[in-house]
Structure 1
Amino acid sequence: MTTSSTALDIPHASARLDELLLYRRVAWRIMPLAIICFLFSYFDRINISFAKTQMQAELGLSDAAYGLAASMFFIGYVLFEVPSSWGLKKYGAPAWICRIMISWGLATAALVFAYTQYTLYFLRFLIGVMEAGFGPAILFYLACWFPKRYLARINGLWFLAVPLAGAVGSPAAGLILGKMDGLLGLAGWHWLFLLSGLPCVLLGLAVLWKLDKDIDSAKWLSPEQKHQLKENLKADRKPDSNGHGSIWRVLLTWEVGVFALIYFVIKSASYGLNFWMPNLIQLSGVHDLLMVGLLSSSPYIVACIGMLVVTRRSDKTGDRKSYLLWCMVASAIGYILACGFSGNPVALMLALVLATAGTFIAIPVFWTIPQSTFSGLGIATGTAAINSLAQLSGIVSPAMVGFVNDLTGISYMGMLAIVPLILGCIVLIAVFVKNPAKD
């Protein structure tokens, strides 16, 4: 009996190994380029935080004006996020992602012409318009290749670009600002925008060349492998009787509202860190720009490691809710401690590590929930709607922090104002979020 059972298990184990090797091959084909593209995407959002000191000195910006400039990106992004999903449907993911990357790269490079705060506001708005739809396009593309049992791990790999943008971009920005200031008559912050914008044009062309439109277009897969990938995705599909296959019904579901509120807070916490962490480190007594960049990178490095560990564990257990909940608890504690120890560089850095790890690990875990809730093109529309509404945090968070800082004259009070939002998010997760049904 035991021998027979073992013999029956061998073909199953072999098929499972073949499947894992197939998805590893798919991941190696898609993920390196996707991660690099998202790294530049995220750094283009936050590069203004590293340029803040030089820009404020040259353009005469207050903290409130800087916060508004940071927010202008998200006004354009939010206005054009959902309309961009229709371009995705018409032209396909690779072509649409290529268009997005080329246009936002050129707009970012154009920040060298921001000689007044008003041209800065306009160009930041334009970058947001050009980048709108990039995140949902990638999430939709990944969901067209990977079944939901792999999504947390795949999302975790892709969202590694978020902390990597800080981990790699922070010391790179410090080096550019410190060593290239005045080169060819350009300020250091001009070089920062040029060197973070122009490579996106080449990456956009690489996307069009490297990524296949769909599984059937992949010449590097055998017919049997294509069939297996499509069958696994088909097994994940839910009937559209709940209306989740309809674009407009997806937009009007209660899930979109709740998920958008939760993600709004996650992004508020992340942007609070992105746009104000270098400033907090400087105010704690660290003044060398390269050292500020190196210290800013350390919380992101810890977040990178945490993403890999937690998303793998979440996939293994199928538990999304608990991991998301505890990530936000860690974020709240880190925020409170960072504000309480803002004058002590060592204690501040430990608190920032906790806040950054909790906040950024929450992002890939969160996205497995809507990806498993919606189906078909409802994934693209649902994620676009959630992302669009949540990106309002990019308008609110930087401007709010700058306004509160100017109003109180205390450098950490704006960051502390984000804590009640995080506590409310914890309640929303505990009450409304349910784990997706296991396969």
Structure 2
Amino acid sequence: MSIESDRAVTDRVYRKVAFRLVPLLFVCYVIAYLDRVNVSFARLQMDDELWFSDVVYGIGAGVFFVGYIVFEVPSNIVLHKVGARRWIARIMISWGVVSGMMALANSPFTFYLLRFLLGVAEAGFIPGILLYLTYWFPAHRRGRITALFLTAIPVATIFGGPLSGWLMQAFDDVGGLRGWQWMFIVEAVPAVLLGLVVLRMLDDRVADATWLTDDERAVVAREVAADDDAKPAAHASVRDTMRSPVIWLLGGIYFAVALGIYTISFWLPTILSRSGVESTVAVGFLSAVPYLVAVVAMVAVAANGDRTGERRWHTAVPCALGGVGLIAVGMTQSSTVLALIALTVAAAAISSAQAAFWSLPAALLSGVGAAAGIALVNSIGNIAGAVSTSLVGVISDATGSTATSLYVFGVVLVLGGALVLTLKKEQVNGAGTRK
């Protein structure tokens, strides 16, 4: 068989694999992310009813990440040992139940408690999926696949924003419940149902995929094995991975990226509302605009990274541009139009940086080392979720504006882009090119 025909066969097999796995994982993440950040829309009504200040909201949004971070590394190690099918299904069903219980929040304490439990329930989902993709896709195919999966974040906002706004307005006072309570209940149901679908449809490993022929399974196994053997830390233990300076460097970079992601996710509706948009439905639709652009940008950047094999600049430049975008948001948030333009630049750039970033740890790790390393990097990054949401709330209450925190976070993102360039290009570049 010629090289060209062999490549065509491999491409066909991977189209089949992608069609089977990516849509299901994508929809799961859309629901997961919506259940994580729909509190940003709920607060538009919760503040009036429960008298939550920016500080209370910021702490509640951030305490989610405490539970998430504490249980993330153990969760990913368990997934690696027991398999993705059962563990991802468990995560989805448990987070769906807790997310629906958010309708019971009636004080700062219950708000904090339920947000913490939601973080515990969801811990390990994202690093688990990122690890799972390394079981199926070699590096030169994984950039685009990861980007497609991560477009669930903007898509969750594109559809979730208008949906949340509509639910809160249409169901307000129905059955004695406020609109924000109905929003939590209705948006929790898909997570539980999808958990049951995952339990039935997801395969733990390539060897379990009965929907592939023996020859097709052999193609995938060969590609992934060759990719793993080429990694500098292919056989690293959990202990070695946790001690690796490069893993902590990657964690620091992702901290900066996540700082931008969560600042926009949790505060975008508030920024638009305070710019003069009064209707919750209008806020929902306007919130979708930055993420429509983000979907296109992140897929384009990731595809170009796969084509060229260049990883550092594909991460560093969007980081810096996202930082500039956040600073621009702080300067323009009194104008709806200008703030929306700045939010669009920031969301597109930061989303692209996130998608490109995950090619970096995936190029260095495999096996149980990847399970621990990817989870650790994600955990360090998600500290930004607790820091950003809480700090924005405190600063906003003290100054009456979110501008100062946006300036600070913008500078951190620019510094994060600079940190990317300290990685040795021979470690991370070239992994994405076709052989």
Equivalent residue, structure 1, for 2:181: 190
Output the amino acid matched with 2:190. Answer: P
Are positions 1:53 and 2:44 aligned together? yes
Question: What is the CA–CA distance in structure 2 between the aligned matches of 1:417 and 1:241, rounded to whole Å?
Answer: 35
Output the amino acid matched with 2:429. Answer: P
Output the amino acid matched with 2:398. Answer: L
Q: Percent identity?
A: 36
Output the amino acid matched with 1:180. Answer: F
Q: For residues 17-416 of structure 1, what are the structure 2 equivalents within 5 Å?
A: 17-238=8-229, 244-416=235-407
> Cα offset for 1:414?
2.6
Provide, for residues 274-323 of structure 1, a one-character-per-residue CA deviation record: whole Å limited to 9, x for no partner: 11111111111111111110000000110011122111111000111111
Q: CA RMSD of the aligned region, Å?
A: 1.5
Question: What is the CA–CA distance in structure 2 between the aligned matches of 1:241 and 1:234, rounded to whole Å?
Answer: 14
Question: What is the CA–CA distance in structure 2 between the aligned matches of 1:292 and 1:214, rounded to whole Å?
Answer: 43
Output the amino acid matched with 1:69. Answer: G
Q: Which runs of 5+ in 1 are unaligned?
A: 1-9
Question: What is the CA–CA distance in structure 2 between the aligned matches of 1:241 and 1:319, rounded to whole Å?
Answer: 17
Counterpart secondary structure, 1:29: helix
Is contact 1:402-1:414 (8 Å) kept?
no
Question: What is the CA–CA distance in structure 2 between the aligned matches of 1:354 and 1:433, rounded to whole Å?
Answer: 28
Change over 3 Å in CA distance of 1:107–1:426 after alignment to 2: same
Question: What is the CA–CA distance in structure 2 between the aligned matches of 1:272 and 1:162, rounded to whole Å?
Answer: 13
Question: What is the CA–CA distance in structure 2 between the aligned matches of 1:433 and 1:177, rounded to whole Å?
Answer: 49
Q: Which runs of 5+ in 2 are unaligned?
A: none
Deviates more, 1:411-420 or 1:365-374: 411-420
Question: What is the CA–CA distance in structure 1 between the aligned matches of 2:150 and 2:77, rounded to whole Å?
Answer: 24
After TM superposition, the score normalised by the length of structure 2 is 0.96
After TM superposition, the score normalised by the length of structure 1 is 0.95
Question: What is the CA–CA distance in structure 2 between the aligned matches of 1:86 and 1:148, rounded to whole Å?
Answer: 21
Question: What is the CA–CA distance in structure 2 between the aligned matches of 1:140 and 1:422, rounded to whole Å?
Answer: 25
Is contact 1:243-1:250 (8 Å) kept?
no
Change over 3 Å in CA distance of 1:240–1:437 after alignment to 2: closer
> Cα offset for 1:433?
5.4
Is contact 2:310-2:430 (8 Å) kept?
no
Counterpart secondary structure, 1:213: coil
Counterpart secondary structure, 1:115: coil
Question: What is the CA–CA distance in structure 1 between the aligned matches of 2:7 and 2:280, rounded to whole Å?
Answer: 50
Is contact 1:280-1:412 (8 Å) kept?
no
Change over 3 Å in CA distance of 1:293–1:240 after alignment to 2: closer
Question: What is the CA–CA distance in structure 2 between the aligned matches of 1:416 and 1:194, rounded to whole Å?
Answer: 36
